[in-house]
Structure 1
């Protein structure tokens, strides 16, 4: 008589990692999609932050301002490209998690790290400090960037816990 094998259930940690990576993938895909289809809304955000036109106008800082629309729009397009690349990586990683593929953790780590760099280095450090975004009552994205960093950081930690990935089983 042939032995029948029943599939092993997915460990809860792997289910959590798959769900969390999928959630961040969906979120950043929607952000990128929104930036592409409603280009002008966040284009204005980037332009105002880089121009520093709603900050305290401190002469010691205003030399940081970028007022060229071409440079501002280039920065915005670079952000959209980065978001789109991260979204595609995280969508692929979600699929790999669901398939129990050993590359899921590695791909998730790359995609999540891209978001940490964009929102940590890009929005909080460069936008918040270099361009003094924190001074603006109107064009201040620090709270949103912080929320994304916290979510992304938690997901990165969960996906890298022992036992989450297929190679850990």
Structure 2
């Protein structure tokens, strides 16, 4: 039973973390919007770089991309927290029912890992060369990926 409670607690904690990130992006919109705009504009890539053509300078596209990030964060948080709730309701159920209840949380965790792995590491980090000016941002994304992936792996282990 301790393993089940651990899975529920860690899932709920990560759901709360994702929700806080999304809320922070809404309540302190300007700070992280500037970050997204800075990265997409590629203003730290040296002039004459063969990668300059990748830069996106449209304010509209910056806002749309940032809105997409926030929407994915809220979606992931909702799925993870709903999944934690489902797990809590089935904590005393037989193993098959408890295992079946994991799917919503795992979907939310996969969405969060996907956002940070693809959105921040691949698109932001490599496509837009975020690492040139903001190396800490990639490290922060990697820490988030690591936490979410570890919880997903732990949660995904079958309960007998």
- TM-score using structure 1 length: 0.86
Alpha-carbon distance in structure 2 between the residues aligned to 1:132 and 1:58: 14
Q: Do structure 1's residue 155 and structure 2's residue 151 form an aligned pair? A: yes
- 8 Å CA contact 1:52–1:133 kept in 2: the answer is yes
Alpha-carbon distance in structure 2 between the residues aligned to 1:130 and 1:55: 11
- TM-score using structure 2 length: 0.90
Alignment of 1:69-88 (within 5 A): 69-88=59-78
- Segment of structure 1 superposing worse, 102-111 or 77-86: 102-111
- 8 Å CA contact 1:21–1:94 kept in 2: the answer is yes
Q: CA deviation at 1:140?
A: 4.8
Structure 1 unaligned blocks of 5 or more: 1-10
Which portions of structure 1, spanning 4 or more consecutive aligned residues, are displaced by more than 6 angstroms?
Answer: none
Distance change (3 Å), C-alpha of 1:22 and 1:121: same
Alpha-carbon distance in structure 2 between the residues aligned to 1:57 and 1:157: 43
Structure 2 unaligned blocks of 5 or more: 91-96
Alpha-carbon distance in structure 2 between the residues aligned to 1:34 and 1:110: 22
Greater Rg, structure 1 or structure 2? 1
Q: Residue by residue, what CA displacement relative to the aligned partner does 1:7-36 show, whole Å, maximum 9, x if unpaired?
A: xxxx12111110111111000100001111
Q: Match of 1:12? A: 2
Q: Match of 2:24? A: 34
Looking at secondary structure, tell me which structure has more helix per residue.
2
Correspondent of 1:114 among 106, 111, 115: 111
Q: Match of 1:134? A: 131
Q: Match of 1:97? A: 87
